[in-house]
Structure 1
Amino acid sequence: MRNALISAGLVFGAWSMASAQAPPLLRDLPALAATWPPAWGPLVRDVAAAPDFEEKTLKRVDSLLKAEKPAAATYRIAEVVLSAALRHSLSERRAAPLAVVPSSDLAAKLATRLEKLRADWLLSLREDQAAADALADRWLPTAAREGPLRTAILDCWTQTGKAALNRKDFAAARATLDRIEAHFDQIGGADEIDKALRERAEALQKQASAMPDAKAVQALEEALTLWPRLPDAQDTLARHKGTFRTLLVAVPALPEQLSPSTAYTSIDRQALELVFDRLFRVEYPAAFGKRYRPQLALDLPADGLAGSIQIRRDVFWSSGERLTSADIRHTALLMNQPDAAGRTALWREVLELPQSGANRFRFALTNRHGLFDPLAAAQFWILPQYYRGKQLQRADDADFAKAPVGSGPFRYLGVKRDQGTPHAVFQSNSRDLRRPIAAVREIRMMPWSDARKDFPRPAPHLVLDAPTQQRAALQQLGYAEINPGKSACVHLLAVNHRRPTLASVAVRRALALAIDRQALLDRHFRAEPKKDHATANGLFPRHSWASAPAPGVPMELFNLENARSLARQVKTETNVFDLTLKYPAGDPRVKSACEEIAAGIVTLFQDAKIKIGVKAIPLSTHVLQKAIRDRDYDLLYTTVESLDDPIRLAFFFDRQEDATRAGGSNYLGYDNDARLHELLREVTRQRQFAALQANMRAVHAHLTETMPAIPLWQLDFHVLVHPSLRTPRLDPRAVFANVRDWQIEK
């Protein structure tokens, strides 16, 4: 009943939205009828005095409309009568909120009949398109989403667009199609307009290929006006104008896995910003902690994730299909697959699976329980439902990772060679029309290790993750470093708790306390002693709000005397064991540091009269990922990011079988610490900051005592910019976040 009254009120509201004048009062209709055709006079006099005026109005209006084919004047009079009756019904039958109103269905019937009348009126005006368009503009805001009036408006606008095509007014047809796409989820017969405009644009693009620059520019600009998502047209136009810009980026290693599910290296993760979008983007302004901005979502939800979210209508996949709420739901289903790589309990414990209805651009996303930072749970990349004509079956699909389809400003073309040097090539996504259109049309990433030997001329515009030892050389070449800030990434030794030896707290703490992190950083990562980079004293970044201050947790974990004492305790449990220490190949700094750590472990336990072997093994990125997924390691050098987010932390130590088995989020296999899981239960339920901070600090202290993983250090992510590149403030955590705003000077 309430929905019926709301619907009736919306239809009634069309009057006030169209003009300042409301529909006439029912009692005023007899006076107005003096200028109407004679048949309407008795109707309005009888209706105005009748207690059952709704039913009489419906019957008498239908009778008059069926008597003869209605003209525009007849429709106009019938609309006035129905609107006046609806106004009177809403006023006369008004009741207390939530009260049951038996007669409210009569108001709903009036509203439905009024909408049907308007639809019929529009359809009768095929020969007077201007009048039909004016009425459609007036009624669209209050037309029921699934009602006949919206269907009639779509038909009206479709006829307007087709008429424009017939007279070769392609610009007018484009404007009409834009309007249709802005207001309707399915464009129906307007597909013909869409097809005709695309074919006209393609013809202009083909003609431009044989024209001189000036004429080609004119033809391409017209083509893009008619079909803004015309593949490669923006790039061709930029070349003719002389404004095509290629951004050259120097990276320590080329990205290999460009699917959110398989991205592993820091460069892989940075490159995701070029190809994919999230619902909400997190930013870290210099003045305060963090903030969220809508990316695919239209707005930030008022009450966290507690209801309906509307997404943008102007976002398309690089394959040409429109991004809809079905893609959001499919992403969630892929993440929730029982054998998904890196799967978490996000959709089991934190969020309800997205629900979408008839509206392709709105869906429901709801937290299962309150969170201190609810939008943190929605920081996942959105994947397409379809890939290469078929439904995407897995988030870690190998072909998808090599040639992904995304909605971001660029699309990945793979690795190409230029003068013998391999480059990872990203081309502007011609389907991305969000403003501003990127001035950079192509991005090429090249590997390097020594700036003076490896850099081409002209030099790269941007250097990502530069080794500290190379900064001086880069600055001499004119590069300026952006403020690296505090890294959210902690490098650690993952410990496989499925190995009986490493299940011992004494062994793990002995390993952790024996590592001289400052000395290792000085020898292998720093250009100057104790300058740049930071040791880690936990899984939370240093200076995080969640980190426990001293003396709760020592500032430095290195304590060789205590490590030796713990190693001697281990002697009673076992006298011989061998370990492997696996690490990512390709970085000489990591190689030498891991080899020194392995040698130090051997020395520590040999001094305690325990025979031990530790073999440092380099692995390619793909093989290292497989070792983590299959739990095929003893110790493994890797990174974790933003574990001071309570949800991420809970996933990392999730003791459910789904998380601890192959591919799950708890690759450590640490699942028998009752105190830790009691603390994690508190932090994921807590919404008051002081209590949350106290609980997180308690977690930090507890992890220091149990050492389920061995924290090592935080390496600064050095980003250096050439003077020829103009950018807004860059965030090292998401360097390409605002790439649309970048400018390259010649």
Structure 2
Amino acid sequence: MSLLGAGAAYGLLGAPTINFAEAADAGTLRVALDELPKQLDPLLYQTNPGYRTMLNIYDTLLTVDYAGDGALQPALAESWKRVDAQTIDLTLRGGVLFHDGSPLTADDVVFSFSNSRMFDPKSPGYGVAQQFLSTIQSVEAVDAKTIRVKSKVPDPALELRLTAWGSQIISKKAFEAAGGFQGFAAKPVGTGPFSVVSLSPDAVTLKAFPQYWGGKPNIETLVYRSSPELSSRIAGLAANDFDIITDVPADQFEAVTRDSNLEIVGGTVASLRIIKFDTRNEVLKDARVRRALSLAVDRQAIVDALWQGKVDVPHGHQLPSYGPFFNPSRPAYAYDPEKAKELLTAAGYNGQTIPYRIRTAAYGPELATAQIVISMWEQVGVKIDLQIVENFAQMMAYPGVGMRNGVDPVLVNDPLFGLWRSYDRSQKDIWSNEEFFTLGDKLQSSTDVEERKKANTRMMDIFDEDPPGIILHTMGVFYGKRKGVKWAPIPSVYMNFRGASLA
């Protein structure tokens, strides 16, 4: 086992030195995360810490009912209509203010989707934008209240794209005054229920925005604190240092609930727990090795041992929330160690060590999962170098990577934003399959539901035949919480504090 050093790159902005002061009053909600976002521009930071903080800083033109059936809902646009298969017109909500007091304008919306922000390959925001917004050709102001969004192709999911990560609306004036991405990411200006007070390696502090168009939040101050170790998060919750802690595994529920003032909330979320392959690794170039590693994993044993059966083993890269694209008859993943050994022999595997990187606090019982999976792999003769890293930058550092832990979050209920977003052409240096990419183009350009279903089915087949990763189970996200905090998690990796309150 090796440990990558703490001297790896901190992130885009380095270590900010903004002063932090936490208000110690009844209006402050304190949330402990395993890792904090390094900056606060959604086009620069797309991980769970970003999802959990920035949902409360920004709004999108449209949103979905995350707590309910996932239906489209108005947000910064009060209404919208389809003009044709490639065009939507949206009417902006009146009276919306940015955190600096300036009014939301059509120019701000157009700028938020501008080439310099997201569509120029040289832009720092290009990579994130391509995952959700790649089909958008233009965003224009028809008049002061009307926005026209045009797609490059007939786009069945154009409305959904306007709810997705990266489509948050920002202040053009604030972005330009900050000198661009780096300055804006340190102290951004959005229209959400909370504005940014400070950002540091130890905490992100937000305050309620009194003029929020959706109504001022009940919480005055929202503080996200850094607490990488699970034991420290649980101890801090018990000591009343935190009000909510994230990512409590099932085997630690009792450690929380033995205190009568505390409870566990949460459940399965729209996210798949994945072990991801980097096919630049010489051993993993051979799909037979990757299929063997998948066949060697007893997924249900992991779910039963570490999650008390509270999460599911999906049948393919899909979720029930996909509606017409969900196939409940798709076969379950096989556990077949003997077949795994046969594939390894056929591939000429000869005991080469494969690196496997994890962060111990990132995805529930991380270390325990890795230890179980490594044991299963060793039983079929595979040698593993387990590398424990401290942050996402170290996880992704190349060369040296072979496999890594990860998730495929489904932030919008369509396979475009699950399977395709996670493995489209932007990931081709890590894994590439031209048939998959061609089918993905069809999935995002056809308005024929049956044609899209056929493309998605074949893409799932390719995922299993030439695997970019191993699906372990759906993610369960469980939180420890003080009973006096009125907050209900949603079945998503997002944390929404718009309606939260303190007793």
TM-score, with length taken from structure 1: 0.56
Q: Which amino acid aligns with 2:393?
A: V
The 5-angstrom pairing of residues 10-49 of structure 1 reads none
Query: 1:364 matched to which residue of 2?
Result: 148
Instruction: Report how far residue 646 of structure 1 moved.
Output: 3.6
Within the alignment, does 1:317 sit opposite 2:95 as a pair?
A: no
Q: 318-327 or 510-519, which moves further after superposition? A: 318-327
Structure 1 distance, partners of 2:328, 2:314, is 13
CA 1:309–1:680 in structure 2 vs 1: closer, same or farther (change >3 Å)?
same
For the 8 Å contact 1:512–1:710, the answer to whether it is kept is yes
AA aligned to 1:538 is: G
Distance 1:536 1:615, change over 3 A: farther
**Structure 1 residue 356 displacement after superposition:** 2.5
1:57-106 deviation line (CA, Å, top 9, x unaligned): xxxxxxxxxxxxxxxxxxxxxxxxxxxxxxxxxxxxxxxxxxxxxxxxxx
Does the C-alpha gap of structure 1 residues 469 and 258 become closer, same or farther in structure 2, counting only changes over 3 Å?
A: farther
TM alignment of 1:299-310, pairs within 5 A: 299-302=79-82, 306-310=87-91
1:162-241 alignment, distance < 5 Å: none
Report how far residue 453 of structure 1 moved. 2.9
Partner of 1:403: 187
What one-letter code is carried by the residue in structure 1 that aligns with 2:41?
A: S
User: Distance between the aligned counterparts of 1:349 and 1:458, measured in 2?
Assistant: 45
In 1, Cα distance between equivalents of 2:433 and 2:357? 22
What's the CA shift string for 1:353-396, capped at 9, x where partnerless? Answer: 21236x444322122333333312222222333447536534xx
RMSD (Å) for aligned C-alpha atoms: 3.4
In the alignment, the residues of structure 1 paired with residue 173 and residue 395 of structure 2 have an alpha-carbon distance, to the nearest angstrom, of 26
Q: Is the 8 A contact 2:484 2:502 kept in 1?
A: yes
Structure 1 residue aligned with 2:401, among 633, 637, 641? 633
**Number of residues paired by the alignment?**
464
Instruction: Work out the CA distance in 2 between the residues paired with 1:300 and 1:719.
Output: 36
3-state SS of the aligned residue for 1:353? strand
Q: Which amino acid aligns with 2:439?
A: L
Structure 2 equivalent of residue 354 of structure 1: 139
Structure 1 residues 585, 256: CA separation in 2 closer, same or farther (over 3 Å shift)? farther
Query: 2:439 & 2:175 partners in 1: Cα distance?
Result: 46
- 2:337 is equivalent to residue 560 of structure 1: yes
State the alpha-carbon separation in 2 of the partners of residues 371 and 389 from structure 1.
Answer: 32
Give the distance between the partners of 1:389 and 1:406, measured in 2 at CA: 14
User: CA–CA distance in 2 between the matches of 1:488 and 1:347?
Assistant: 16
Give the unaligned 5+ runs of structure 2. 1-22
How far did 1:718 drift?
Answer: 1.5
Retained in 2: the 8 A contact 1:583–1:624? no
Question: Is the CA contact (8 Å cut-off) linking 2:31 and 2:245 kept in structure 1?
Answer: yes
Q: Deviations over 1:499-541 (max 9, x none)?
A: 3432212111011111222333444x33x4xx21223443323
Q: Is the 8 A contact 1:489 1:714 kept in 2?
A: yes
* Matched-pair identity in %: 16
Alignment equivalent of 1:618, drawn from 378, 388, 412: 388
Alpha-carbon offset, residue 605 of structure 1: 3.5
Amino acid at match of 2:414: D
- Please report how far the alpha carbon of residue 463 of structure 1 lies from its aligned counterpart in structure 2 after TM superposition: 3.9
1:294 aligns with 74
Alignment of 1:534-553 (within 5 A): 534-541=312-319, 544-545=322-323, 546-550=325-329, 552-553=330-331
Corresponding residue to 1:715 among 458, 470, 475? 475
Distance 1:351 1:252, change over 3 A: same
Corresponding residue for 1:271? 53
Once the two structures are superposed, what CA deviation does each residue of 1:210-232 show, in whole Å capped at 9, x if it has no partner? Answer: xxxxxxxxxxxxxxxxxxxxxxx
Q: Report 1:138-149 matches (<5 A).
A: none
Higher RCO, Cα 8 Å, sep 6+: 2
| SS of alignment partner, residue 488 of structure 1 | strand
Deviations 1:93-147 (A, max 9, x none): xxxxxxxxxxxxxxxxxxxxxxxxxxxxxxxxxxxxxxxxxxxxxxxxxxxxxxx
Match of 1:444 in 2: 223
Label 1:388 to 1:690 Cα distance change in 2 as closer, same or farther (>3 A): closer
Question: Which of 476, 490, 495 is the matching residue for 1:731?
Answer: 490
Correspondence list, 1:513-532, <5 A: 513-523=295-305, 525-526=306-307, 528=308, 531-532=309-310
Distance 1:361 1:692 in 2: 34
Q: Secondary structure at the match of 1:693?
A: helix
Separation of aligned partners in 1, 2:399 and 2:177: 32
Paired residues of 1:276 and 1:381 also in contact (CA < 8 A) = yes
Residue 9 of structure 2 aligns with which residue? none
How many angstroms apart in 2 are the aligned matches of 1:299 and 1:721?
A: 37
Contact 1:496-1:631 at 8 Å conserved across structures: no
Q: 2:399 & 2:129 partners in 1: Cα distance? A: 16
- Residues 581 and 402 (structure 1), Cα distance of their counterparts in 2 relative to 1, 3 Å cut: farther
Once residues 469 and 666 of structure 1 are traced to their aligned partners in structure 2, the CA distance between those partners, rounded to angstroms, is 37
Structure 1 residues 644 and 742, CA, compared in 2 at 3 Å: closer, same or farther? closer
Residue 337 (structure 1) aligned to one of 94, 107, 120: 120
Query: C-alpha distance in 2, partners of 1:594/1:346?
Result: 28
Distance 1:457 1:651, change over 3 A: closer
Give the alignment partner of residue 377 of structure 2, picking from 586, 597, 601: 601
Do structure 1's residue 454 and structure 2's residue 236 form an aligned pair?
yes
Task: Give the aligned residue type for 1:650.
Answer: W
1:582 to 335, 357, 361: 357
Greater fraction helix: 1
Q: Counterpart in 2 of 1:426?
A: 206
Q: CA–CA distance in 2 between the matches of 1:543 and 1:298? A: 25
Corresponding residue for 2:19?
none
Residue of 643, 658, 669 corresponding to 2:431: 669
Where structure 1 has 5 or more consecutive residues not aligned to the other structure, the ranges are 1-238, 607-612, 660-664
Quick one: distance in 2 between partners of 1:722 and 1:348? 38
Q: Distance in 2 between matches of 1:618 and 1:315?
A: 45
Report how far residue 594 of structure 1 moved. Answer: 2.4
2:128, 2:465 → 1: CA distance? 28
Contact kept? 2:194, 2:209, Cα under 8 Å: yes
CA contact (8 A) 1:350 1:368 kept: yes
Secondary structure of the equivalent of 1:563? helix
